[in-house]
Amino acid sequence: MKLLRFVFICFVFFALLITVFSLLIPAHIRISRATDIRASQDSVLMRIQNPAQWKNWYPGADSASLIYENGKITGIATGSNKGLQLESISDSLIIAANADKKMSMGWQIFPAAAPNTTTIQWYMNFKLRWYPWEKFSSLLLEKRYGPLMEKGLSNLKKLVEQK
């Protein structure tokens, strides 16, 4: 009986210790990538603000179905039924979010120093709850999404620069 009580106390102690350490990890994580594209700002903006164009450059969107609202394409739906829908569009910023709003992303477009060159920054924001498994899993977000974002920006650059 003493051994069982000791194991239980150790389990509770380590669970609390892990929870305290997880509270040191921020609840808001941002991953960002940027690239320069030799094209006008309008031609880059045209590819991003239209979710039907995402199939040409966004990694994984080629097999996704489109989401329609009021007869207008507003995003893409993946097989897991979590879609990515546009929230706002301006002349230099496009913001999209998934259905539960735990993840949002945006594309910021800047004129570059070189003539006829546009800089595009793609960022992803993640809102995490206090749960230790969410906080510790956030340490892997950079490795999971960073290469996909780089591939997407590379695809977008090839697509825009060839026309």
- How far is 34 from 50, CA to CA, in rounded Å? 20
Secondary structure (DSSP) of 55-119: GGTSTTGGGPEEEEETTEEEEEE-TTS-EEEEEEE-SSEEEEEETTSSEEEEEEEEE-SSTT-EE
What CATH number should be reported for the domain whose range is 27-161? 3.30.530.20
- How far is 75 from 134, CA to CA, in rounded Å? 26
CB of 35 closer than 8 Å to CB of 119: yes
pLDDT at 78 over 90: no
Model confidence pTM above 0.75: yes
Q: What is the pLDDT of residue 81?
A: 53
Reduced DSSP (H G I as helix, E B as strand, rest coil) percent helix, strand, coil of the chain, to 5: 40, 35, 25
CB of 85 closer than 8 Å to CB of 97: yes
Q: pLDDT tens digits for 84-121? A: 888 888 888 999 888 777 788 999 998 877 788 899 99
Section 142-158 average pLDDT: 92
| Helix, strand, or coil (residue 30) | strand
CB of 45 closer than 8 Å to CB of 157: no
Contacts of 149 (CB under 8 A, 6+ apart): 31, 33, 122, 124
pLDDT at 63 over 90: no
Q: pLDDT tens digits for 30-41? A: 999 999 999 888
CB of 116 closer than 8 Å to CB of 38: yes
